[in-house]
Structure 1
Amino acid sequence: MASEMDLDRPNIEEYLADSAIDSNKTLQLSDLLNVAPALSEAAGAIVDDSFTRCFKSNPPEPWNWNVYLFPLWCLGVVIRYVFLFPLRCILLATGWGIFLTSFMLVHYLLKGQNKTRRQLERYLVEFMCSVFVASWTGVVKYHGPRPSIRPRQVYVANHTSMIDFIVLEQMTAFAVMMQKHPGWVGLLQTTILESLGCIWFNRTEEKDRQIVAKKMKDHIENTESNPLLIFPEGTCVNNDYTVMFKKGAFELGCTVCPVAIKYNKIFVDAFWNSKKQSFTMHLLRLMTSWAVVCDVWYLEPQTLKPGETSIEFAERVRDMISVRAGLKKVPWDGYLKYYRPSPKLTEMKQKMFAESVLRRLEEK
């Protein structure tokens, strides 16, 4: 009997060892299945990063790669930098001189005549924006009826660069809602553009949102105010995509007039990457290009439908602008360009992962 037990013992030990290995394999496979969805999502984000793509300039394919085309490219560089750029600088300086002189005269000599003064200041800002567009040899095609001054309406447009405001302003003197900028741009905001009734905000201040919302409502109720222009994406996108629209412009209970802007990249990419380039250098790049070419479509005004939420309203308007301008929609918040994801979003992802793990444990 003892000899039989001794003979069977190695088999039992081998069996137990094999069982432990199988158990470990099952446990490892189970662990892998638990984290598979998270790994799949992470790998997908790396392979197809649709968020970063929205804020990247896509360099054009080089065409001066052979001995025949390179001399032509060099000739183009000489024409743009030696001839066109100085002429554009002279044009811009002359326009600024005329504008500043006229603006100061109107502002100080017509202090008591508010209506006449506002009208003349409007025309002067439109003139100055036209000078800017001319300094880029801008070719802008406007489609649809020209915006009119009416109460309880707001214009919303996709956003590629701060020059969007200049392109639209040369047609109609909008009061724009814009991020407060430092430097000479900030000086223009507080001195000249203030006369149009523009509204400034600061992304970093939570209390600022309530103040801005009240200013927006007061502005659209005033029958003498300039049309209010809002870029609901909240940041510059590279004119290939549209990111999520903020719902503030769609909660005002007024008519929303969509505006679609599409730049042609054949001569220059008009996208302003504010994290890598100052606005001064951005303007310099435009002034040393051949031309800035774009189309602007004023689309049919929209109102909130019965039972429709402000978020659904914003998405419907974004659909219209994206289709008209040929832009791709992505479900991203543009503010993620500047800030980390909110704790709510992080907690939601953690909760989803925990629930998936608990489901697998319950199945066992």
Structure 2
Amino acid sequence: MKDDNKDDGISAAPMIFAPKSEGEFEKLSTAFEASFLKRKKSLPTLSGETLSHKIFDISELLNEGAQAIVDDTFTKCFKSTPQEYWNWNLYLFPMWCIGVPIRYLFLFPCRLAVLIIGFFMFFVAFTLVHFSLKDGPKRRRMERSLTEFLCAVFVASWTGVIRYHGTRPSNRMSSANKVFVANHTSMIDFIILQQVCGHAVIMQKHSGWVGLMQGTIMESIGCIQFNRTEAKDRATVAARLKEHVASRDKNPLLIFPEGTCVNNEYCVMFKKGAFDLGATVYPIAIKYNKIFVDAYWNSKRQSFSQHLLRLMTSWAVMCDVWYLDPQDKLPEESSAAFAERVQKMICDKAGIKVVPWDGMLKYYRPRPNLTEKRREEFAKNVSAMLDESESLSPKA
């Protein structure tokens, strides 16, 4: 601490919010408390209007900080919903105990066997089709059908109970000048939609066995991969999107405009790239029932393999999917306004809340100098109000 700091601690206010050691924290706290008690004696002598004004001034400052802690809707978007326990009484608890070995010792091995056998059948058939047929419409149709089969195997391995509402897309429909958009909770969103109709999806590059599948199978059905940390990928993806939408021979394009997985209770800002292609947008609303398992995938806390294991050891994965009416951009409507309109349609149907946050913020942390600058601003405001309060108090 500098030697020219005053004894009342006011000049040290910017440091009150960021003490460097426990001793410094105690010293600053003692100085600030003494300064506050000194000024408190003068407050009753102020007029009611002035006192009220000061109280509300500092209340606004405190309210901003409290709101950031209590009403942090950004953090809520990426937290798993606490599970509601149903085995809370004497006759349900024994049933739950019986159900645990059934799920882990009977259902899980059966589901794992279904997944392994399905994978084996898929890879044998896919290899034969991919290397025995020339690149053309026939091979692409067969590869798309095989990916739909593999996705159906995945859904069966969770005992998925999926209810589809509305007019489902068909593989016979032309994919030109149309794009499907949906809210995003997990990578299984793609699997659930893919088993109905083969889509080409925009996806983040992954490592491990998921990355291996992306590099072989997903590329063959026209999926577009990107790395969100590389700026050059953005221009490449934008160009490929326009090329894909203009083609009649490629699979229908599926985009998750949020760009990241959200917990199915909130919906973060839609990126406008999907709405700036001049194509008809087909909204899809996805809502998971969390009675047996929360389908939200928090990629920072668990791998996709762990996520699948959690799904496969639950009783079932329950989900509703709504295919909504296609939407076109209005004559004087901006791409951002178009994105907001479609987002509201999806959220209203799925019963989830819209928040104005950019989901990509969860991958970045503010620089330390920005945090320190904000602390200094708070400290200056408090210091100015205390100095003004002292100047208004009657002199002894």
TM-score (normalised: structure 1): 0.85
Q: Give the gaps of 5 or more residues in structure 1.
A: 1-17
Corresponding residue for 1:275? 300
Q: How does 1:35-54 map to 2 (within 5 A)?
A: 36-54=59-77
Corresponding residue for 1:9? none
Q: Residues 256-284 of structure 1, C-alpha deviation per residue, up to 9 Å, x if partnerless?
A: 11000011111111111111111000000
Residues 201-210 or 284-293, more deviating? 201-210
Q: 1: distance between equivalents of 2:84 and 2:299? A: 23
Q: 1: distance between equivalents of 2:54 and 2:303? A: 49
Question: Which of 149, 152, 169 is 2:194 aligned to?
Answer: 169
Residue 71 of structure 1: how far off its partner (Å): 1.5
Corresponding residue for 1:108? 131
| 1:171 aligned counterpart, secondary structure | coil
Corresponding residue for 2:163? 141
Distance 1:221 1:342, change over 3 A: farther
Residues 60-69 or 293-302, more deviating? 60-69
Corresponding residue for 1:127? 149
Question: Which of 262, 278, 303 is 1:253 aligned to?
Answer: 278
Residues 64-73 or 197-206, more deviating? 64-73
Which amino acid in 2 is paired with 1:58?
T
Q: 1: distance between equivalents of 2:334 and 2:366? A: 24
Which amino acid in 2 is paired with 1:186?
G
Distance 1:226 1:275, change over 3 A: same
Q: How does 1:1-364 map to 2 (within 5 A)?
A: 36-110=59-133, 112-147=134-169, 148-340=173-365
Residue 150 of structure 1: how far off its partner (Å): 2.5
Q: Residues 211-268 of structure 1, C-alpha deviation per residue, up to 9 Å, x if partnerless?
A: 1100101110111011110000111111111111011111111111100001111111
Q: 2: distance between equivalents of 1:96 and 1:240? A: 32
Q: 2: distance between equivalents of 1:206 and 1:39? A: 39
Corresponding residue for 2:5? none
Q: Residues 296-335 of structure 1, C-alpha deviation per residue, up to 9 Å, x if partnerless?
A: 1111111111211111100000000000111111111111
Q: 1: distance between equivalents of 2:276 and 2:60? A: 37
Q: Residues 336-357 of structure 1, C-alpha deviation per residue, up to 9 Å, x if partnerless?
A: 11113599x99xx99x99xx99
Counterpart contact for 2:258–2:359, Cα < 8 Å: yes
Residues 90-99 or 198-207, more deviating? 198-207
Distance 1:105 1:25, change over 3 A: farther
Task: Give identity over the alignment, percent.
Answer: 62
Which amino acid in 1 is paired with 2:68?
A
Corresponding residue for 2:10? none
RMSD between aligned residues? 3.1
Residue 30 of structure 1: how far off its partner (Å): 7.6
Q: Residues 129-163 of structure 1, C-alpha deviation per residue, up to 9 Å, x if partnerless?
A: 00000000011111112223330111100000000
Residue 25 of structure 1: how far off its partner (Å): 7.3
Distance 1:28 1:186, change over 3 A: farther
| Number of aligned residue pairs | 339
| 1:192 aligned counterpart, secondary structure | helix
Residue 113 of structure 1: how far off its partner (Å): 4.9
TM-score (normalised: structure 2): 0.78
Q: 2: distance between equivalents of 1:339 and 1:203? A: 11
| 2:66 aligned counterpart, secondary structure | helix
Residue 37 of structure 1: how far off its partner (Å): 3.8
Residues 43-52 or 158-167, more deviating? 43-52
Q: Residues 60-118 of structure 1, C-alpha deviation per residue, up to 9 Å, x if partnerless?
A: 222223332221111111110111001111111110110000000000000x2511110
Residues 43-52 or 283-292, more deviating? 43-52
Counterpart contact for 2:178–2:282, Cα < 8 Å: yes
Residue 49 of structure 1: how far off its partner (Å): 1.7
Which amino acid in 2 is paired with 1:309?
S
Q: Give the gaps of 5 or more residues in structure 2.
A: 1-38, 389-396
| 2:364 aligned counterpart, secondary structure | coil
Corresponding residue for 1:15? none
Stretches of 4+ aligned residues off by more than 4 angstroms: 24-36
Q: 1: distance between equivalents of 2:227 and 2:57? A: 42
The one of the two structures with greater contact order (alpha-carbon pairs below 8 A, sep at least 6) is 2
